Structure 1
Amino acid sequence: MNKSAPSLKKKKHDGGRGLSAVAILVACLCALPMLAVLLAALSGGTETVQHLAETVLGGYAVTTLALVALVACGTFAVGVGAAWLVTMTRFPAARFFEVALVLPLAFPSYVLAYAYTHLLDHPGIVQTTLREVMGWGPRDYWFPEIRSLGGAALMLVLVLYPYVYLLARAAFLQQSGTTFLAARALGSSPWAAFFKVSLPLARPAIAGGVLLTVMETIADFGTVSYFGVQTFATGIYTSWFSLFDRVGAAQLALCLLSFALILAMLERLQRGAAKYHDPARQAKSAPTMPLTGWRATGAVVLCGLPVLLGAVLPIIVLFSMGLGSEQNLLSERYLGYIRNSATLASVAAVVTVAAAICIGFFQRMRGDRLARGAAYVARLGYAVPGGVIAVGLLVPFAAFDNAVDAWMRSTFDISTGLLITGSIWLLVIAYMVRFLAAALGAYEGGQAMVHVNMDAASRSLGQGPVGTLRRVHLPILAPSLLTALLIVFVDVMKELPATLIMRPFNFDTLAVQAYRLASDERLEGAAVPSLVIVAMGLMPVILICRQVRRR
């Protein structure tokens, strides 16, 4: 017995150090682009800061905050309202809307921008029809401008509200009906019980969903750039790639990164008070209220409107635009775009989820300040624009490649060229940094249901950290990991700026092709790759919908 004790102790720690090293490496990769931006910003001195403050900084800040406020309020109202209706009430087609409300998650916001510009702009279908029917001239009427701050906020709300909807719906389903029934017994109406009981209990999940949408909003480039809305994201791109003012762009990126840090702290604080309980121990689920008459009609309209505006109408518009274009979807070029997009999304999803497993399990295994700091740093990339991450990775890795090439030339008279820069793997690292927070959130949501006693039982049976992860955690977390894979796959399919900057030569994707055609105002042509992006994103979203229904 005594002879086996050392081997058991050794087995317990087998693989733990390697897992910790991988988690720390992932955290360092996530911090690398931010450190590069910080160093570039500090190298500029105060003159550039003063010039930015006197010219564009105030405008960028006001516009970004206004866009954030509009999107946060819109996603909260649509996501929470739809989640409560499909969860807590019964009305015609409730089961259908339960799944259909997730469909806009497959749409990039810039694709909706292309569709609604074609539909609502001055030469678009709606205004042209109004002028023909009413006999109006170009200045005889007023019509809302789609290429505006409000239009950009609407596009973002339509594609981002599913984040709030999914989390709010899960929170409502997991609530015990005892508190809701107690509020009803004390004389509260169903609506009052919702605002006094159900909504406060779901606050952590809802706040997490809204903060995710805010992070997506401040990092968005495609929509605000196409609509001409001047935010920090567009300012960074203009300074870096049009004005070639690297220092000014870095200082603008530092402002945006500071905002991201505040959001990450808020997200962490609101999650810190959340408690998880086993749903099987709930005495009774919350009752559902039947809706009839005008209330049922109102529920159908309220749930159907986001689906109509966020999925059905854009597909119809894009399809009609694509029929009139000269793009051949079956050509070798487009098949190459599809193959490149699918390859990038698949590889990035696997790498990102693997990194999330390492970070999440490292935090659970250690639980110290280092582990918490690694998880905190890993979340920050979600709020940083893809272009900032791309440049922040290109600068240090290009320096590394040049140093290796110079050493090989001087030592062996061999040129190695660019080993990492310009490769698909550096682009995958950028995706991992950008979307690791989404995968980590899905992983930790499932990990919270794995009781610590399971870890203790695994250790008592001689399993080390890697064995516990492989034999205990991963089988239980399989649904959460599948959700994380699907979320990252869809996000990478939609990602534009990092792909635009870091893609290897002759390695274009569907997102790059759509952006290129839309920038030339060839919206009919941009509809074809946009439709393929949506179609490829819909397949994972449908799988997510099936999981939503089963749960």
Structure 2
Amino acid sequence: MILGLSSRWSVSTYLLAGLLCTPFLALLLQALMPDEQVFAHLFATVLPTYIGNSLLLMVLVSLGALLLAIPAAWLVARCQFPGRRWLQWALLLPLAMPAYLVAYVYTDLLDYAGPVQRSVRAWFGWQSPTDYWFPDVRSLGGAALMLALVLFPYIYLLARTAFSEQSISLNQAARVMGCSPWRSFWRLNLPMARPALAAGVALVAMETAADFATVSYFAVPTLTTAVYDTWLSHGSLSAAARLSLMILLVVLVLAALERASRHRQQLYQKNSFHTGLELHPLSATNAKLATAYCLLLLILAFLLPFAILLGYAIDYFESSWNIAFFRYSLNSLMLAAMVSLICTVVALTLLFVQRISPAARDRLPVRLASFGYALPGTVLAIGVLGPLTVADFAINDVFAWYGTSGPGLIFTGTTLALVFAFCIRFAAIAIGSIEGSYKRISPSMDMATVTMGKSPLALFSQIHLPLLRKGLFAGMLLVFIEAMKELPAALLLRPPGYENLATHVFQYVSDEQLEHGALAAIVIVLVGLLPLIYLNRSFEQEN
């Protein structure tokens, strides 16, 4: 402990972490409230369908993302082919594209009235749907494909890193024993990458479990859509809380599996011997096929949807470029900027106290504050609404006790609810980014500063803060982007009359009129590209 600062701030960090954990407690309490038999009705009728669809969707998306990501990761990490250098980062671009936008674009292309089926009917002379069969994109399988196209970069990035860091000596030994590159991949490289693949699959499954917009657009009933419908259509917050706890249980199990996989991966990396990157030369035909596969994947997952959205934005620019667009953009920018600033301050406070305190108990607030990222947006909205409603009523009761009129709904009736919910969800991102930078600061610098008679606050402002600039910038940027894109919590917690870019675009998607919201969608995608560009630059600097 340095000059007793942590002893004074330790309680404050626990209170701060406890505030960020209130949705968990609120969900438990709300689930215990009577629900007028709504949950019993759901359990007896449609709940098995919701659960089955959710689990099946997670399995299909995970398998699809694996099948898409592993070949691309292996080719980029261990093979030499034309375009490899720029494809290794370009394959991350689909992460900037919200899945519901990809779903709308491909539905427009592949529906019965779309250009693909019209062309098929024209080529073969078919007149009606009874003359031929075409897969229905508005289905659970279609939703799984759309999500896999957007989420496969999670697995691709982790698998690419795992393949790149594997020991060359092991591959050389496999060659000496007569194993071909293909056989070495199956018997050596792929098993060694299993912890990274498991972590990627867990992340993809968590994102799938949290998805609302895509399954809602495709009318696939899952637990996330059930929470939304139960709350708004049936008016039962208690039944919605019970459904939310089911989603939360699934997400926490997946998060535990992901954490265990990362731990195994770290143990493996500490005991491996990495001597550099060896690229396998491919034949001319195989090199062209490798380029074609990676390029086709990039086109289907990002370039084609982005090009179509850009075309919509250009065609409908005059009707979209209006006062409402600027107002929604300003709402998104202000909300995201406020959330990124608050999350950064919270992360700095918690991590600084953890840094200067030797007590193991002061590590707990950091872990507690990171739990919010495991909450899907719909679940988070249920958890946030309870304590904020109690706070609103308590404040107005105090004013009534003094005989004056209260301020009204200052939390649930304003954007403060959105700010609170977003801070709970995205504080973990800021914590993770800044914590990584903190680990690079030698403890000897802290001891030297204290020896010179500096106070802990001087240590923070003069030593830590300048050295944390890169992590601070990365954390603020990532939180800003995630806040710009967050949709389910914004839909459920926004005050009357409030719209931002995400809710504005989804409203047009729901009305089958994305063309009018394409300009706003392009802004969301372009802003989402910023962290990917930053990530690519960091990756190139490390290599």
Same fold (TM over 0.5): yes
Residue aligning to 1:4: none
Residue 249 (1) aligns with residue 266 (2): no
Residue 533 (1) aligns with residue 513 (2): no
When structure 1 is superposed on structure 2, of 308-317 and 20-29 the one drifting more is 20-29
Pick closer, same or farther for the CA change 1:288–1:72 going to 2, 3 Å: same
Residue 138 (1) aligns with residue 113 (2): no
When structure 1 is superposed on structure 2, of 348-357 and 496-505 the one drifting more is 348-357
Pick closer, same or farther for the CA change 1:49–1:368 going to 2, 3 Å: farther
1:542 equivalent among 529, 533, 539: 533
* Separation in 2, partners of 1:270, 1:544: 22
User: Retained in 2: the 8 A contact 1:221–1:385?
Assistant: no
* Separation in 2, partners of 1:461, 1:278: 38
Alignment-mate amino acid for residue 212 of structure 2 = F
1:86 equivalent among 57, 76, 81: 76
Residue aligning to 1:350: 341
Pick closer, same or farther for the CA change 1:83–1:484 going to 2, 3 Å: farther
1:114 equivalent among 80, 92, 104: 104
* Separation in 1, partners of 2:458, 2:48: 53
Alignment-mate amino acid for residue 57 of structure 1 = L
> 1:110 Cα deviation (Å)?
0.9
* Separation in 2, partners of 1:198, 1:148: 36
* Separation in 2, partners of 1:103, 1:413: 55
Aligned residue for 1:275, secondary structure, equals helix
* Separation in 1, partners of 2:209, 2:79: 34
Residue aligning to 1:5: none
Pick closer, same or farther for the CA change 1:488–1:532 going to 2, 3 Å: same
Residue aligning to 2:210: 219
Aligned residue for 2:319, secondary structure, equals coil
After superposition, give the CA deviation of every residue in 1:24-58 in whole Å (9 maximum; x if it has no partner).
Answer: 23432332122212112122389655433321221
Aligned residue for 1:348, secondary structure, equals helix
Pick closer, same or farther for the CA change 1:170–1:469 going to 2, 3 Å: farther
After superposition, give the CA deviation of every residue in 1:46-79 in whole Å (9 maximum; x if it has no partner).
Answer: 9655433321221111111111111222223333
User: Retained in 2: the 8 A contact 1:401–1:420?
Assistant: yes
> 1:100 Cα deviation (Å)?
0.8
Residue aligning to 2:277: 286
1:265 equivalent among 230, 246, 256: 256
2:179 equivalent among 178, 185, 188: 188
User: Retained in 2: the 8 A contact 1:70–1:153?
Assistant: yes
* Separation in 2, partners of 1:45, 1:421: 22
Pick closer, same or farther for the CA change 1:491–1:410 going to 2, 3 Å: same
* Separation in 2, partners of 1:367, 1:58: 49
TM-score, normalised to structure 1's length? Answer: 0.88
* Separation in 1, partners of 2:371, 2:460: 25
Alignment-mate amino acid for residue 122 of structure 1 = Y
Q: How many residues align?
A: 540
Alignment-mate amino acid for residue 44 of structure 1 = P
User: Retained in 1: the 8 A contact 2:26–2:387?
Assistant: yes
* Separation in 2, partners of 1:128, 1:357: 57
* Separation in 2, partners of 1:188, 1:465: 58
* Separation in 2, partners of 1:50, 1:395: 22
* Separation in 1, partners of 2:523, 2:151: 20
> Within 5 A, what are the aligned runs for 1:322-401?
322-325=313-316, 328-360=319-351, 370-371=361-362, 373-401=364-392
* Separation in 2, partners of 1:355, 1:309: 39
* Separation in 1, partners of 2:520, 2:53: 30
User: Retained in 1: the 8 A contact 2:487–2:503?
Assistant: yes
> Within 5 A, what are the aligned runs for 1:436-447?
436-447=427-438
Identity of aligned residues (%): 39
Alignment-mate amino acid for residue 539 of structure 1 = L
Residue aligning to 1:415: 406
When structure 1 is superposed on structure 2, of 242-251 and 19-28 the one drifting more is 19-28
Pick closer, same or farther for the CA change 1:537–1:283 going to 2, 3 Å: closer
TM-score, normalised to structure 2's length? Answer: 0.89
> 1:395 Cα deviation (Å)?
2.3
Aligned residue for 2:339, secondary structure, equals helix
1:300 equivalent among 288, 291, 294: 291
User: Retained in 2: the 8 A contact 1:318–1:527?
Assistant: yes
After superposition, give the CA deviation of every residue in 1:274-322 in whole Å (9 maximum; x if it has no partner).
Answer: 437999x966213111223222122112211221111110012223333
* Separation in 1, partners of 2:538, 2:35: 52
Alignment-mate amino acid for residue 530 of structure 2 = M
* Separation in 2, partners of 1:379, 1:171: 25
Residue 149 (1) aligns with residue 140 (2): yes
Pick closer, same or farther for the CA change 1:295–1:446 going to 2, 3 Å: farther
* Separation in 2, partners of 1:201, 1:460: 46
> 1:430 Cα deviation (Å)?
0.9
Aligned residue for 2:74, secondary structure, equals helix
Pick closer, same or farther for the CA change 1:90–1:473 going to 2, 3 Å: farther
Pick closer, same or farther for the CA change 1:34–1:42 going to 2, 3 Å: same
User: Retained in 1: the 8 A contact 2:436–2:471?
Assistant: yes
Unaligned regions of 5+ residues in structure 1, if any? 1-8
Pick closer, same or farther for the CA change 1:438–1:181 going to 2, 3 Å: farther
1:61 equivalent among 51, 66, 78: 51
